[in-house]
Each structure stands twice: as C-alpha cells, then as structure tokens.
Structure 1
Amino acid sequence: MASQSSPTADARSTVDVLRQRYAQRLPTSLHDLAGPTDGEVELPLHIAWSGLRTYNLHRPRQRMSYYRTVLTEGQRDDLTALLDGDLLVSQWPVLRTLVSRHIRDVWEAVFPALTGGTSAAA
C-alpha cells in the first residue's frame, strides 16, 4: 500500500517551498535596492507577462502595483534594479497587505526595519 501524506503535511511543505523560493531572492540589505523612485518604468516580460507593463511611479496606485508585481515575480537582480529601499519601507504598511503571506513573512523576518524594528541588514 502506498503511503499518503496528510493534507497538513502537504500544506506545510508547500509553505516551506514558497518561503524558500522567496528567501533565495532577497537582497543582502535594503540598501541594495537601488531602483527608480520616479518617472515611468517598464517591467521586463519575465516579470510582467500579461497586463500592465509600464508604471508611472508618481501615481500611488501604479507604484503599489509595480512593487507588488516585482516582489512577487522578480528575481534577486530584478529586486535590486527595480525597487528602492526607502520607497519599499515607506510603502510597506500597505504593501504588506497586498502581497502573499509567504512574501510578507520572509521579508519581515530578514528586514525588521519593514515593521519598525532595526537590523544590521536593513
């Protein structure tokens, strides 16, 4: 008889895989995030393969959507090139509600500055 894993074990392993995937993408420091802070930015196709690709960072809703998309789909090089550390910190209180729990947990665990704490990596 084949062994079956429990739904709880499957969910836990999925959570672990997702968290590991997002953790591998993290920059070393929030200071490494040196992306644009204004103007229009066009995301590469590997990040935004459908829908809106060009975002005006002066428009708060577009900026929030841009950050959410990059956090969700970007690799480490994308994060450092497309996100700005200061903007990320200032937007985090709202942005954290727009990204998945896995992304939020990984970023907040490594960068306590996002939640008002301090860290040498911040």
Structure 2
Amino acid sequence: MPEILEELTGPVDGVIMLPRHLDWGPKRSYRLDQIADARLLYMRVIRESATPADLRQFLNAAMLRRLWPELVLPPPVRALWIARFPELQRQAA
C-alpha cells in the first residue's frame, strides 16, 4: 500500500491492459473512459495487487477518490484502505 494517495500516479484515460498476476480472466483490457470498466479495473487492482508498485502503476489518486464510493470491495480491504487514508471515508459520505 502506498504511504500517501498522491503516490498513485497511474493513467486517467486510455485503454489499460492488466498483467496476468492482477487479472487472469479473458478480458484484461479496460477503457478508463467507461465508468464500469474503470470501476472494475480499480476493484481488481486493489484486491489483487501484491506490491505498492502495482498500485502506483495502475491507480490514480484523483480517479480513486472519484470512484471510491462505488467500489465493491471486501470489508477487510475497504477497512484497511480507510484506516490508511481516512479521506476516502469522507469522500464516500
């Protein structure tokens, strides 16, 4: 997990192809201009990333703040992120 959200400097547009260690399904490309694709990409990266490098590469702080209220994450994962970044909880309110 990054120390601060601003470490998340991933793309905000375009088509992103996730590597197999993050998404092993048949559809590994996501269009960030499509809200459903962006949400799915963020949920997958947050759940499956093993290193902060994955998070920094594929997530963007501003986009995460916008999408956070709509992301369906396991409660322990959501709680971990909110504990580290309380501003996400305020964003969801």
Q: Which TM-score bucket, shorter chain as reference?
A: over 0.9
Does residue 107 (structure 1) correspond to residue 87 (structure 2)? The answer is: no
Equivalence for 2:37: 62
Unaligned runs of 5+ in 1: 1-25, 118-122
Unaligned runs of 5+ in 2: none
Does residue 90 (structure 1) correspond to residue 66 (structure 2)? The answer is: yes
Aligned pair count reads 90
Cα RMSD of the aligned pairs, angstroms, is 1.1
CA distance in 1, matches of 2:21, 2:81: 22
C-alpha displacement of 1:50: 1.7
CA distance in 2, matches of 1:90, 1:49: 26
Secondary structure, aligned partner of 2:87: helix
CA distance in 2, matches of 1:33, 1:57: 15
**Where do residues 1-122 of structure 1 align in structure 2 (5 Å cutoff)?**
26-74=1-49, 75-95=51-71, 98-116=72-90
* TM-score (structure 1 length as normaliser): 0.71
Equivalence for 1:19: none
Higher-Rg structure is 1
Partner AA of 2:62 in structure 1: D
What are the superposed Cα offsets for residues 40-76 of structure 1, whole Å, 9 maximum, x if unpaired?
Answer: 0000111111232000000000000000000000121
CA distance in 2, matches of 1:39, 1:50: 20
